[in-house]
Each structure stands twice: as structure tokens, then as C-alpha cells.
Amino acid sequence: MLELLIVPWNLFPLAAAEEAAVVDNAFKLLMVLATPVFALVVVTVIYSMLRFRRRGEPTEDGPAIHGPRSVILAWLTVTTGLTILMIITPGITGLRELRAHASEAPDLLVQVQGGRWFWKVTYPEYGVSSTKELVLPVGKRARFEVSAMDVLHSFWIPAFRVKIDAVPGKITTTYATPDTLGSYDDDEHMRIQCAELCGLGHSVMRLSVRVVTEDEFKAWIAESTAK
């Protein structure tokens, strides 16, 4: 993991799902690729401003360099190479990682409905639903089937780095495998946050997320069923 050595600081907030690691690593790799490009431009501009500055009205022209073919072709080769590299990794490799388990059956099914301005989560396998919180067992891969009751919304859990829009008349799906215990009370990133503008209550269209042990999850299900 070369990129971890070069980008030692931790930019990122709490990451609480396996998918979050894929996304954060892709981000770090892009930082590694972007930094030299950024540095090249800024250093060249600042150097030129200091080195090639002329005070007062110009009295002479610079050399008539129209752009030697060798320089242009070398530049094209490097930029094309970098672009292909970025497409392959983290682009294609990241996509493959995120979809590595797409064909496997999930451990848990959660139906998520977005409406103005609340979230409703349903566990069809247990006949339980809630508009108060999303509870997930740690280490279990959950499939989210997302739908909208009225207008577009977007299902986003910042701590999982997972997002998919809720579209009226359509069911969209995404997956997450929580790997860290915790809840919204400990860290604000453990929330469903609506990420697609939906009107008046958009900003506060949130739902607490709580990741618990499997036993706690079963207990919560049992308690919710009893109600």
C-alpha cells in the first residue's frame, strides 16, 4: 500500500464499513497522482513569475518558441499514460472491489423508503420496520432496496461512503457491510442523510444509524416485533 506511506495524514471521518475502505483508498491513490500534477503547474507559474519578470514597459520580445514537437509529444504521452493509469486504478479496480460480491446473496435485506421528510426502514425477513433508526448487525452484508414516496431523495450513509438515489417508481439497490460498532450518538457520520435536494426539510432528513453485535440485533428485532 504505497499510497498509505505517502499520504500519512488522515483526512477522513469515521469509516465504519468495508466499502468505506475501498472508497478512502481510491481517494488516497488519486491524491498521490494529483499532487505532482498540481505541484508542476504551481511551481512552474511561481518560478516563471520570479525568474522571467520584467519591470516596466516591455522593450523586447521573448524567444520565438512555437512549441517543439518533441516536447508536445512527450507531454501527450505522459498525460495519456496518467489518464489510462487513473482509469485502471483506482477506477476499474475500485469498481471491481465494490462489486466483488454483487452476485452473492446478502446476509440481510433492508427496504428503505424516502418521503418528505423522513426515512422508513423495513426488514421484510423479520416483519419489522422503523422510522426512528437503522439498526445493522456488524460484519453482515446488507442489501438496501431504496425507493421514494414522492420526489427524488438520496440514501447516503457518510460513515459507510455509500450512496444511491431514491427515485419515484423505481427500486434502486446498494450494499454495505458495517465493520465497526457505533451509533449516531457517538459520531454524526453514523446517519442516513438525504443527499438529493427534496424541498423544505431536506437538510434535516436524517435517520440515526446504529451498528450492533449480532446478539444485540436479534434482541432489537425481538423487541420491535413484540411491540
Partner 1 sequence: MAFLPLIKAVLFAAIGFAVGAGATTGLRNLLGMEPWSTEPVVTMGYVFALIGWLLGVGLWDAWAREWFGKQPKEPLHEGWARFLRFSTDHKVIGVQYLVTMVVIMLLAGALSLLMRVELAAPGQTIMGASDFNTTMSLHGIMMIAVAVATVMGGFANFFVPLMIGAEDVAFPRINAMSYWIVPPVAVLLLATPLMGGFDTGWTAYPPLSVLNASGQLLFLLAFLTFGVSSILGGLNFLATIIMLRAPGMSWGRLPIFVWSIFSAALISLTATQSVALGLLTVILDRVAGTSFYNAAEGGNALLYEHVFWFYSHPAVYIMILPAFGIALEMLTHFSRKPLFAYKWVVASLLTVVGLSYIVWAHHLFTSGMGDYLHLPFMVTTELISIPTGMVFLSGLGTIWQGRLWLKTPMLFALGFLMNFVIGGVTGIFLADVPTDINLQDTYFVVAHFHYTIMGGEIFAILGALYYWFPKMSGRSYNEALGVVHFWWLFLSYNVTFISMFWVGILGMPRRVADYPANMADANLFVTVASFVLGASFLVFAGNLLYSWIKGPVASANPWKARTLEWQTSSPPPLENFPSEPTVVGSPYGYGVAGSVHARLAPAGGSKEQDGQS
Tell me the closest approach of the beta carbon of residue 26 to partner 1, in angstroms: 4
Can residue 152 be called a binding residue for partner 1 (CB under 8 A)?
Answer: yes
Tell me the closest approach of the beta carbon of residue 118 to partner 1, in angstroms: 15
* Burial of 157 (C-beta count, 10 Å sphere; 0-12/13-18/19+): buried
Name the residue with cell 511561481: 46
Q: Which of 106, 108, 202, 221 binds partner 1 (CB under 8 A)?
A: 202
x/- mask, partner 1, residues 162-181, rule CB under 8 A, reads xxxx-xxxx-x---------
| Polymer length in residues for the chain | 227
Distance of alpha carbon 38 from alpha carbon 46, whole angstroms? 12
Q: Which of 114, 137, 158, 182 binds partner 1 (CB under 8 A)?
A: 158
Distance of alpha carbon 194 from alpha carbon 152, whole angstroms? 10
Identify whether the C-beta of residue 166 lies closer than 8 Å to the C-beta of residue 152.
yes
Contacts with partner 1: how many residues (CB under 8 A)?
A: 84
Can residue 11 be called a binding residue for partner 1 (CB under 8 A)?
Answer: yes
Can residue 21 be called a binding residue for partner 1 (CB under 8 A)?
Answer: no
Identify whether the C-beta of residue 183 lies closer than 8 Å to the C-beta of residue 9.
no
Distance of alpha carbon 108 from alpha carbon 36, whole angstroms? 43
Interacting residues of 164 by C-beta distance below 8 A, sequence separation 6+: 144, 146, 154, 155, 172, 173, 174
Can residue 22 be called a binding residue for partner 1 (CB under 8 A)?
Answer: yes
Q: Which of residues 97-136 bind partner 1 (CB under 8 A)?
A: 97-99
Q: Which stretch binds partner 1 (CB under 8 A): 121-129, 135-143, 185-193, 219-227?
A: 185-193
Q: Which of 4, 101, 131, 203 binds partner 1 (CB under 8 A)?
A: 203
Q: Which of 42, 100, 219, 222 binds partner 1 (CB under 8 A)?
A: 42
